[in-house]
C-alpha cells in the first residue's frame, strides 16, 4: 500500500512539472534541456500510470480472494429488481394505453420530437431600439481564432469524471492525455472556426427517463435527464 501511495505522489509531482513545462512551451521559450525533460517526464508519467494500474488490479484481486463474492446473490437480486422497476411495460398517452416495445418507443419518440420542434409565435421585436455598438477592433476580437490557452482553460473548467460519453471517454481522459490530443483538438476547432460548421451529431443529446414512482405509466411519472455529448 505504501508503495502505491509513493507512486501516486510521484505522479502528482511529475504532472505538476509537466504542466509547468507545457505552459512555458506554449510561449515558445523551452530550452533544449527543458525539451528533453519534457519528453522524459511524459514517458515517466505513462510508465508509472501503467504500474499503478497493475498494482490496483492486483490489490482488487487480492481483496476478492480474501473476501470472496459473498454478496453476489444479493447484488444480482438488486439489479434484477431495479431492471424490473425501470422497464416500461405499458404507457398511457392521451387516455390511451400503449403496450409493446415498438409502440411505446414510437410514443416516447413522438412526444420529445414535438417538444423540441420550432413553433412560430409572435415575439417582441428590437427595431427602433438604441444599443451600444462595438468598435471595429472590439468586433474583430470576437471572431479571432481560438488560442491553445483558451481551449485548455475551457477543457479544465469541465468536470473530469462526470457522465462519460457513450464511448466511455470523458474530460478526465482529455486532460490526462492533453499533450497527445492537443494538436488534433486544435485542428478540429480551427476547422470549425474557418468553416462555421460542426460535424453532424457532435451536439446530439441522449434523453434518459428516470422513474419517479414505482410502475411509471405516463410522462409525468418520469424525470427526463439530457446527456449532452462533447468533442
Model pLDDT for residues 15-66, shown as the tens digit of each residue: 888 888 887 777 777 788 888 888 888 888 888 888 888 888 777 777 776 7
Same domain, 151 and 172: yes
Residue 125 belongs to some domain of the structure: no
- Give the per-residue pLDDT at 1: 47
Residue with cell 533544449: 32
Q: What would the mean pLDDT of 151-168 be, rounded to a whole number?
A: 75
Q: What is the DSSP letter of 122?
A: -
Verify that 206 and 107 share a domain, yes or no: yes
All three cell numbers of 25, joined, read 512551451
For residue 48, give the nearest of 170, 176, 154 by alpha carbon.
Answer: 176
Instruction: Give a yes or no: residue 215 inside a domain.
Output: yes
C-beta neighbour count of 91 within 10 angstroms: 21
Distance CA 128, CA 140 (A): 25
**49 part of a folded domain:** yes
Together in a domain, 100 and 209: yes
Instruction: Give domain status of residue 216, yes or no.
Output: yes
**Claim to verify: residue 113 and residue 91 sit in the same structural domain:** yes
**Which of 4-8, 86-90, 108-112, 203-207 shows the highest mean pLDDT?**
108-112
Q: Rounded to the nearest 5°, which phi and psi values hold at 126?
A: -120, 15
Q: For residue 74, tell me if it sits in a domain.
A: no
Which whole number is the average pLDDT over 111-136?
78
Domain extent for 18? 2-68
Q: What's this model's pTM, rounded to 2 decimal places?
A: 0.41
11's grid cell: 505522479
CB of 138 closer than 8 Å to CB of 145 = no
Tell me: do 171 and 138 sit in the same domain. Answer: yes
Q: What is the pLDDT of residue 70?
A: 60
Give the whole-angstrom CA distance, residue 70 versus residue 58: 20
* Number of domains the chain contains: 3
Amino acid at each position: 500500500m505504501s508503495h502505491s501511495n509513493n507512486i501516486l505522489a510521484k505522479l502528482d509531482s511529475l504532472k505538476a512539472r509537466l504542466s509547468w513545462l507545457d505552459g512555458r512551451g506554449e510561449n515558445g521559450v523551452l530550452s533544449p534541456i527543458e525539451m528533453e525533460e519534457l519528453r522524459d517526464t511524459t514517458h515517466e508519467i505513462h510508465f508509472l500510470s501503467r504500474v499503478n494500474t497493475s498494482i490496483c488490479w492486483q490489490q482488487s484481486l487480492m481483496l476478492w480472494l480474501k473476501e470472496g463474492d459473498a454478496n453476489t446473490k444479493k447484488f444480482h437480486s438488486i439489479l434484477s429488481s431495479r431492471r424490473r422497476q425501470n422497464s416500461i411495460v405499458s404507457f398511457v398517452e392521451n387516455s390511451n394505453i400503449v403496450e409493446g416495445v415498438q409502440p411505446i418507443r414510437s410514443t416516447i419518440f413522438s412526444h420529445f420530437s414535438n417538444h423540441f420542434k420550432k413553433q412560430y409565435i409572435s415575439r417582441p421585436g428590437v427595431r427602433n431600439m438604441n444599443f451600444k455598438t462595438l468598435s471595429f477592433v472590439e468586433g474583430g476580437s470576437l471572431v479571432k481564432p481560438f488560442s491553445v490557452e483558451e481551449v485548455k482553460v475551457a477543457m479544465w473548467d469541465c468536470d473530469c469524471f462526470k457522465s462519460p460519453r457513450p464511448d466511455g471517454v470523458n474530460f478526465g481522459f482529455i486532460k490526462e492525455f492533453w499533450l497527445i490530443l492537443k494538436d488534433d483538438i486544435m485542428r478540429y476547432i480551427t476547422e470549425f472556426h474557418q468553416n462555421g460548421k460542426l460535424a453532424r451529431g457532435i451536439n446530439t443529446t441522449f434523453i434518459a427517463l428516470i422513474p419517479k414512482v414505482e410502475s411509471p405509466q405516463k410522462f409525468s411519472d418520469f424525470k427526463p435527464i439530457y446527456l449532452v455529448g462533447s468533442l
